[in-house]
Each structure stands twice: as C-alpha cells, then as structure tokens.
Amino acid sequence: MNMEIPARSENESFVRVVVAAFVARIDPTLEELNEVKTAVSEAVTNCIIHAYDNTEEGVIRISVVLEGKKLCMEIEDRGKGIADIERAREPLYTEKPELERAGMGFSIMENFMDELYVESEPGKGTRVKMIRSFGKNAWDNH
C-alpha cells in the first residue's frame, strides 16, 4: 500500500486508521495493532512538526508492505532533514522543547518495532523505515 498525504496534523489520525486496517488482515493482537498505530503516528507527527515546521506545505509518503506476518513501513518527507541522526534518536533530545512529549518520537518507534532505520539529508528530507514481525517466534512451534 502506498499513499501520499498533505503534512497536516489532522491527517495523522487518518494514517493510523488506514495502516491499522491494512495490518488487521494478518490478525495481530490488539496490543500489536496499537503499537503499530503508535509508531506510524510518531513518524508522521515528526514529519509534520520537524520536517515541515507545521506549515502544512509538505507531502508525506507512506508505504506499507506485508510479507506473511512481517510488516515493513516507510514514512518519507522532503522537508528540512536531520543534520545529526544519532543525536536526534537520543531519548528526550528535541529541537522543539516547548512541545508536549518532545524528544520521544524515535524512542517510541524503537520500542514498538523490531527494527528502525533513519536516513536523512539536510535540505532534502528524511525516510524512516520500520520493520515488525507478528505472532509466534520460530521456536514457539516446538
């Protein structure tokens, strides 16, 4: 599934619902579904607030792929980019301390996903890739 949305705060909840509906077909637990919704919400919110500075001028691209019980999501913007990705991924680090919950976006995504990759270039945008497997571990079948 691929979609593009305007970088507006009201679209964050829309993306949560669409991704949840897409993932629901593999019958995740309610907890797993809520974690996916939260992770995608954080990624989209980062685009709106940081990449485009709440200007509603940008576009966010979302790609979601299911391969069996494995989910791969990519959230991409063409905003201002991140100069220091490692620093941006530190818990509580933020360039916008005046905002509620500032500095926890990447930490939340990392906690709810199995893998998180961030690619960014100042002035060109950011791509966040998240991977999550659902269901039993391979050794649970023995």
Identify the residue whose tokens are 């890739």. 129
Q: Could you give the domains of the chain?
A: 2-136 (3.30.565.10)
* Per-residue pLDDT tens listing for the chain (142 residues): 999 999 999 999 999 999 999 999 999 999 999 999 999 999 999 999 889 988 888 999 999 999 999 999 999 999 999 988 888 877 766 666 566 656 678 889 999 999 999 999 999 999 999 999 998 654 444 3
Q: Which residues are designated catalytic?
A: 42, 46, 101
Specify the pTM.
Answer: 0.87
The answer to whether 80 and 24 are in contact (CB under 8 A) is: no
Rg (CA), the chain: 15
Distance CA 51, CA 49 (A): 6
